[in-house]
Amino acid sequence: MAHIQVHRDDIDLDEPTLVEGLPGLGLVGKIAADHLVDVYDMEYYAACHCDGLPEIAVYAEGDPTVRPPVRIYADADEDLLVLQSDAPVSPSGATEFAGCLVSWFDANDVTPLFLSGMAAEQDGEPPAVYGISTGDGASMLTDADIEHPSQAGAITGPTGALIHEAQRTGLTGVGLVVEADRQFPDPAAARAVLQTAIGPLGDFQVDTEALVEQADQIAEAKQRLAEQLEASEDDSTSARPLGMYQ
Amino acid sequence: MAHIQVHRDDIDLDEPTLVEGLPGLGLVGKIAADHLVDVYDMEYYAACHCDGLPEIAVYAEGDPTVRPPVRIYADADEDLLVLQSDAPVSPSGATEFAGCLVSWFDANDVTPLFLSGMAAEQDGEPPAVYGISTGDGASMLTDADIEHPSQAGAITGPTGALIHEAQRTGLTGVGLVVEADRQFPDPAAARAVLQTAIGPLGDFQVDTEALVEQADQIAEAKQRLAEQLEASEDDSTSARPLGMYQ
Amino acid sequence: MAHIQVHRDDIDLDEPTLVEGLPGLGLVGKIAADHLVDVYDMEYYAACHCDGLPEIAVYAEGDPTVRPPVRIYADADEDLLVLQSDAPVSPSGATEFAGCLVSWFDANDVTPLFLSGMAAEQDGEPPAVYGISTGDGASMLTDADIEHPSQAGAITGPTGALIHEAQRTGLTGVGLVVEADRQFPDPAAARAVLQTAIGPLGDFQVDTEALVEQADQIAEAKQRLAEQLEASEDDSTSARPLGMYQ
Amino acid sequence: MAHIQVHRDDIDLDEPTLVEGLPGLGLVGKIAADHLVDVYDMEYYAACHCDGLPEIAVYAEGDPTVRPPVRIYADADEDLLVLQSDAPVSPSGATEFAGCLVSWFDANDVTPLFLSGMAAEQDGEPPAVYGISTGDGASMLTDADIEHPSQAGAITGPTGALIHEAQRTGLTGVGLVVEADRQFPDPAAARAVLQTAIGPLGDFQVDTEALVEQADQIAEAKQRLAEQLEASEDDSTSARPLGMYQ
Amino acid sequence: MAHIQVHRDDIDLDEPTLVEGLPGLGLVGKIAADHLVDVYDMEYYAACHCDGLPEIAVYAEGDPTVRPPVRIYADADEDLLVLQSDAPVSPSGATEFAGCLVSWFDANDVTPLFLSGMAAEQDGEPPAVYGISTGDGASMLTDADIEHPSQAGAITGPTGALIHEAQRTGLTGVGLVVEADRQFPDPAAARAVLQTAIGPLGDFQVDTEALVEQADQIAEAKQRLAEQLEASEDDSTSARPLGMYQ
């Protein structure tokens, strides 16, 4: 039953770019992905029903429609897809998820942009961003003027599994690594990767002013996040609010 | 062997509504479901023999008949089904259970009402209730005048898996989220969801006075529950009493 | 390979009654079953080679013959079978074991009497016994004048799985619940269930005087049991003595 | 791929006896088996490649040839086989191992002698030895004048699984239980079982003087064993010396 | 999908020797292997996509190309292959990995040299090196004048599984055991095994001066390693730098 279930065949896409937004270090990917969905008012395009994903029921404020926790949003004008997730992918399910998602990318001519934070000291400098590539992605990095890695590294977790699978199968894609806060959501890092890499790669310019303004909200969210992580250890049935930067 | 085993084919139902009563936060679902079985003197209609359910032998006071721990009760007059459970569904078995139950709903034209508590401070206000939907359930919420979610959220656990599966397969259903006590059985929350949502959705009016009167029994039950939870860690064979609000 | 291996086809049985003696609360079942094997000098009739049972080699004092840990004994005169176990059935293996054993009961017209202790305060009163039933077992309880449950309850563990499976498949059987000591072997409870329920159900009268007399031995056995439980955490090969009421 | 791989088809055996030497309580089996290999200068006859056995590379002093950790040695003159193991068999792999080995015994007319220590106080008396049997092994015990068990008991662990499997399939074999030190290697117990049971059963007389003389080495080995057990918790690659009585 | 994926069919090899460089005690294998890749400027030849290997995305400084964590490098002039790994192979995956890799060795006429450190006291003496063999490897040891084991031993972990599999299938190969530091990377041990064993076996002389000079870098790396090991317990997505001797 594992598959990507598209329910908006009416949205016309031509070799789209996909921005991957799984929760990870600094929540960089999730913040950037959620921001794109918000700014472009993107349409809920497809549900991810891959084995290994959490089976929970998610809903939005003011809208009774139940949605799965991992979804793809689309914008036909920008030929853009965004992978949005409301829950972490478990390490044990990462292999299944990577195979399920990357094979869909391949079958639908999707070029993925994978995102990962990298722990760094906060030194007042803007966070560094560099790019890595799978398939023929190296030329994309050159065309978008994105720097090569300044040191060797490894990307682990679900995003690491996705990039590994793209490499294994030869799918053209790009991974973007950005310095970020190790412990808390880092909208500044998300802004940096949107401005210096995702925009140039996807050939669009996205307004990121909101990310700056939301600094205060982030401070509040830090507190909320801590509480949610604590609560998530309970396996019995309950509904709980989804914060902006869960 | 996983299936729903109906042994009362003589009971005639026509596109029935089912109230799900799995144990969860505040035991809201279990209290509401057990109350319906009691008030309408519902018939034991079907046994749930889905993989992942606990294999224990359950019996009632004064009746020697052994029953499975998860059962469906029926009332032909109200075209009503209730899912009653005497034991928690383990998280690892939730996927199997959800597939088993939702496919039976689908094959038998059952419209499920899923119930979940949501932790809230006790502030003297009546507990808020709001509805979410799968398939074509949104219009049911509108017809019954049930509010939309006041904030985004996620339902986890076995009930979350059931709603997720209903959403995935497109089955029309409704989820009802009610503010409830995080730690103890909350008959007031169960009463609220029965009066403001289940009644209107099922097109019947149920007397909930008993729930108010049982407040004292609940206080006693709190103590009993704590003892039972402690005892449930023992895996060797033993019989133990089933309290009213286990 | 899972099956019941009968090696005494020469023993003639006609719709026999089987007394189940798995270790459980108060060791009620094991004490009662072992007592029957002893009093009627029953023959070793069949070996249980069901998946999930411990693979250990068991032997008796003065007899070099190795036997499996879970065995069935027979007495043709009383048309009686007893299930004797020298080791606990692990919770994870209970499902396999229940399916294996109950299908054999069904195929050989065996009517099982399942036994379970229920924790109770020692109040000087004789331990209460009540009966529950699967299939058409309710009339057996009535004929033998056995009380109905005085409160709702659930039987867990391997015996719970056996009764659950009998219920699921519709096999006629009886479960006997007796108040017993939660922590130590309780021959008084075993005696009560033999006198007030097993005897009447199986249509025989068994001398239980030995159980009274063995009270002193039990006191000693308490100490031995504590030592054995401690030793059983070691998985390497070793032989260890099997006490009377292990 | 699970099988016993014989690479010395040139060694001629006729219904041989096999002495099992898996590590267990007091290392009785391992000490006795290693002693036989040493005294009779036995040939490395077959490799055990059963599922569940540890996949490590073993080598001997002064000989570069890599060998598997569980091996069978042969001596044509005495029609004797010895099962030697340099590593413990994990409890989870014991079932697979028992099936693999016992079916080979059966196919090659091998009569196994299984060995197990039984914890006993050191009281100055020579350690007691008694025998148990599977298949038609009881007459072997009688012929060799080996005592019957002085109390009921159970043999657990890998050796228990082997005897259980021999019993289940009806293979003729013998189990020898000897009182031994619970915590340290016990060459005196190994000597007792060699002299009073293995020799008479296998129809040979083995010089066990070396076991007495090695008492001092054992004392040193106690210290080495403690260190090795500690080291064995590390799963990364490393070579480590194999002591005499590992 | 488990296989070795060669993407440089243009490199011509004739019965090549392979130096295995999995992380193990003292990182001896990894240091020696990485040194060979560096000195001979070896080409990235094949990716290891065996089941059980970690699915992470690895990249080098200044090069955006994503690579898998376990790779084979080649040098046609020396007929040399090197197995390089940037991440440990988990014990549970070692069996799958060993079968995958050794069958490829067999199919491609590869003669493997396996490397393992052995804990030893630092006594000022040059670290001892001795060799073990599988298949017809013993004559290779003689020709290269490599000593036999000075004591019995066992090689565990992934390298132990590889040697075990080579032994099981009869593949000709050599294992080299060298005394090394138990806790920290030991380039002196790597140098010793390169000079006294790998060079003579592979019929080449490799400059190892750099290993001496890097002593200072190692001291720094010790600190970095400790930090990385700590960080590796986190399963969420993140990029992290790969140190020289990770």
3-class SS letters over B37-54: HHHCCCEEEEEEECCCCC
DSSP of chain A:
--EEEE--TTS--SS-EEEEE---GGGHHHHHHHHHHHHTT-EEEEEEE-TTS---EEEETTEEEEE-SEEEEEETTTTEEEEEESSPPPGGGHHHHHHHHHHHHHHTT-EEEEEEEEE----SSPPPEEEEEETTTHHHHHHTTPPPPSS-EEE-HHHHHHHHHHHHHT--EEEEEEEE-SSS--HHHHHHHIIIIIHHHHT-----HHHHHTHHHHHHHHHHHHHHHHHTT--S--EEE--TT-
One-letter amino acid at C67 equals R
Pairing label, strands A63-67, D57-60: unpaired
pLDDT of E214 reads 67
Quote the CA–CA distance of B237 and A144 in Å, as a whole number: 67
Residues 6+ apart with CB under 8 A from C213: none
Please answer whether residues E91 and E162 qualify as being in contact, where contact means their C-beta atoms are separated by less than 8 angstroms: no
Shortest Cα–Cα distance, A42 to chain E (Å): 25
Which two three-digit tokens encode residue C139?
A: 């009339």
CB pair distance less than 8 Å for C25 and B238: yes
Q: Would strands C17-21 and C80-85 be described as parallel, antiparallel, or unpaired?
A: parallel
Residues of chain D with Cβ-Cβ distance to E157 below 8 Å are 235-238
Contact C64 D137 (CB under 8 A): yes
- What are the φ/ψ torsions at residue E12 (nearest 5 degrees)? -95, 120
B164 to chain A, minimum CA–CA distance in Å? 5
What span, in angstroms and rounded, lies between the C-alpha atoms of D164 and D148? 18
Contacts of B130 in chain A (CB under 8 A): 64
Q: What is the pLDDT of residue B222?
A: 65
CB-CB: which of E5, E57, E62 is closest to A154? E57
What architecture is domain E3-234? 3-Layer(aba) Sandwich (3.40)
- State which residue of chain E sits closest to D48, comparing Cα positions: E168
Of C123, C146, C139, the C-alpha closest to C194 is C146
B136: nearest CA partner in chain A: A65
Q: Do B138 and A64 make contact, defined as CB atoms within 8 angstroms?
A: yes
Is there a contact between C156 and B240 if contact means CB atoms under 8 Å apart? Answer: yes
Q: What's the pLDDT score for residue D246?
A: 37
Does E244 have pLDDT greater than 50?
no
C touches A (3+ CB pairs < 8 Å)?
no
Q: What is the pLDDT of residues B51-82, one digit of tens each?
A: 889 999 999 999 999 999 999 999 999 999 99
Helical (H) or strand (E) element with D117: strand D111-119
Cβ–Cβ of A55/B153 closer than 8 Å? no
Residue type, E203: D
Chain A residues in contact with chain E using a Cβ-Cβ cutoff of 8 Å? 22-25, 29, 88, 91, 94-95, 98, 116-119, 130-134, 137-138, 141, 148-161, 163-168, 175, 177
Q: How high does pLDDT run on average in chain E?
A: 88
Å between C10 CA and nearest CA of chain B? 34
Residues in A closer than 8 angstroms to E58, CB to CB, are 152-154
The contact set of D with E (CB < 8 A) is 5, 47, 49, 54-69, 86-87, 235-242
Supply D4's token pair.
């016993």
Neighbouring chains of C at 3+ CB pairs within 8 Å?
A: B, D
The listed range with the strongest mean pLDDT (B136-145, C234-243, E178-187) is B136-145
Q: What is the ipTM of this complex?
A: 0.86
Of A108-122, A189-203, B99-113, B212-226, the poorest mean pLDDT is in B212-226
Q: What is the pLDDT of residue C204?
A: 86
Say whether the E–B interface has 3 or more Cβ pairs within 8 Å. Answer: no
Instruction: Report H helices in E134-246.
Output: 138-143, 157-169, 187-193, 199-202, 209-213, 215-231
Distance CA D211, CA E155 (A): 28
**Partners of E65 in the beta sheet?**
A133
Q: Do B168 and A86 touch (CB under 8 A)?
A: no
C208: β partners: none
Q: Rounded to the nearest 5 degrees, what angle is found at the Cα of A74, between the Cα atoms of A71 and A80?
A: 120
CB contact under 8 A, D238 and E132: no
At D240, is the pLDDT very low, low, confident or very high (cuts 50, 70, 90)? low
Cβ contact D221:D244 at 8 Å:
yes
**Residue pair B167/A68 in contact by the 8 Å Cβ criterion:** yes
Q: Which of E48, E51, E66, E246 to mutate to test the interface with A (most CBs of A within 10 A)?
A: E66
Q: What is the pLDDT of residues C79-88, one digit of tens each?
A: 999 999 998 8
Is pLDDT above 80 for D229?
A: no
pLDDT for D239 beyond 80: no
A64–B160 CB contact, under 8 Å: no
| E chain contacts of residue A118, beta-carbon cutoff 8 Å | 238-240
Distance between CA atoms of residues D129 and D146, nearest Å:
8
Q: Compare C246 and B102 and report the one with higher pLDDT.
A: B102
Q: Tell me what pLDDT residue B142 has.
A: 97
**Model pLDDT, residue E93:** 87
Partner-chain contact B167 A238, CB within 8 Å = no
3 state SS of E66 = strand
The beta strand positions in E95-190, using DSSP E, are 111-119, 129-134, 153-155, 173-180
E94 vs E105: CA distance, rounded Å: 16
Residue D100 has pLDDT above 50, yes or no: yes
Listed residue (A113, A101, A117) closest to A144, CA to CA: A113
Kindly state the percentage of chain B with pLDDT values over 70: 87
**Interchain pair C57, D95: CB under 8 A:** no
With touching defined as 3 or more inter-chain CB pairs under 8 Å, the answer for chains A and D is no
- B165 vs A56, A60, B24, B152, CA distance in Å? 9, 18, 18, 19
Give B-chain residues touching A48 at CB under 8 angstroms: none
Whether the per-residue pLDDT at E98 is higher than 80: the answer is yes
CA distances from B218 to A176, B122, B211, B230, E44 (A): 56, 16, 9, 18, 70
E strands of B97-241, at which residues? 111-119, 129-134, 153-155, 173-180, 239-241
Residue A137, C-beta contacts closer than 8 angstroms, at least 6 positions apart: A111, A172, A173, A174, E64
Beta bridge partners of C65: D133
Report the pLDDT value the prediction gives residue A231, as an integer from 0 to 100: 57
Do C241 and D153 meet the contact criterion of CB atoms below 8 Å apart?
Answer: yes
Give residue A210's pLDDT.
Answer: 85
Does position E245 have pLDDT exceeding 70, yes or no?
no
Q: Which residues contact A234 (CB under 8 A, 6 or more apart)?
A: none
Q: Using CA atoms, how far apart are residues C17 and C15, in angstroms rounded to an integer? A: 7
- Closest Cα partner for C176 from C124, C134, C123? C134
CB contact under 8 A, E236 and A98: no
Output the pTM of the full model: 0.86
Residue-level pLDDT at D183: 80
Q: In chain C, which residue's Cα lies nearest the Cα of D25?
A: C238
Which tokens is B188 given?
Answer: 């007031």
B219 pLDDT above the threshold of 70: no
What's the pLDDT score for residue B246? 37
Distance from CA of D11 to the nearest CA of C (A): 31
Give the distance from residue E171's alpha carbon to the nearest chain D alpha carbon, in angstroms. Answer: 11
Q: Which subunits sit against A, judged by 3+ Cβ pairs under 8 A?
A: B, E
Query: Considering only CB atoms, which chain A residues are within 8 Å of B164?
Result: 55-57, 66, 68
The whole-number pLDDT of residue C245 equals 43
Nearest to C175 among B66, B69, B240 (CB): B66
A vs E, Cβ pairs < 8 A, gives: 121
> Mind telling me how many Å the CA of C146 is from chain B's nearest CA?
10
Q: What percent of chain E has pLDDT over 70?
A: 87
In chain E, what residues touch A159 (CB-CB under 8 Å)? 237
- 3-class SS at D111? strand
- The reported pLDDT for the residue numbered B217 is 73
Q: Do A151 and E242 touch (CB under 8 A)?
A: yes
- What are the structural domain ranges in chain C? 3-234
- Kindly report the backbone phi and psi dihedral angles of residue B162, in degrees, each rounded to the nearest multiple of 5, phi listed first: -65, -45
Tens digits of per-residue pLDDT, B114-135? 999 998 876 778 899 999 999 9
Q: Do B63 and C149 touch (CB under 8 A)?
A: yes
Residue of E nearest to D3 (CA): E168
Nearest CA in chain E to A164: E57
Helix (H) / strand (E) containing C134:
strand C129-134
Mean pLDDT, chain C, rounded, equals 88
Residue E100: its pLDDT value, please? 96
Write the pLDDT tens digit of every residue in E59-76: 999 999 999 999 999 999
Binary contact (E65, A132; C-beta < 8 A): yes
Which DSSP letter does residue E151 get? S
Going residue by residue through chain A (246 aa), what tens digit of pLDDT does each one get?
A: 469 999 999 999 999 999 999 999 989 999 999 999 999 999 999 999 998 899 999 999 999 999 999 999 999 999 999 999 998 888 888 999 999 999 999 999 999 999 999 988 767 788 999 999 999 999 999 999 999 999 999 999 999 999 999 999 999 999 999 999 888 888 989 999 999 999 999 988 889 888 887 656 766 766 676 666 665 544 455 566 665 443
Mean pLDDT of B196-202: 95
Q: What is the β-pairing status of strands D63-67 and C173-180?
A: unpaired
Token readout for E166 is 């080579």
Beta bridge partners of A75: A80
Residues of D in contact with E168 (CB under 8 A): 5, 47, 49, 68
Q: What is the pLDDT of residue D244?
A: 44
Position E70: which residue type?
Answer: V
- Nearest-angstrom CA–CA distance, A240 and B2: 31
Question: Which is more confident, B227 or D185?
Answer: D185
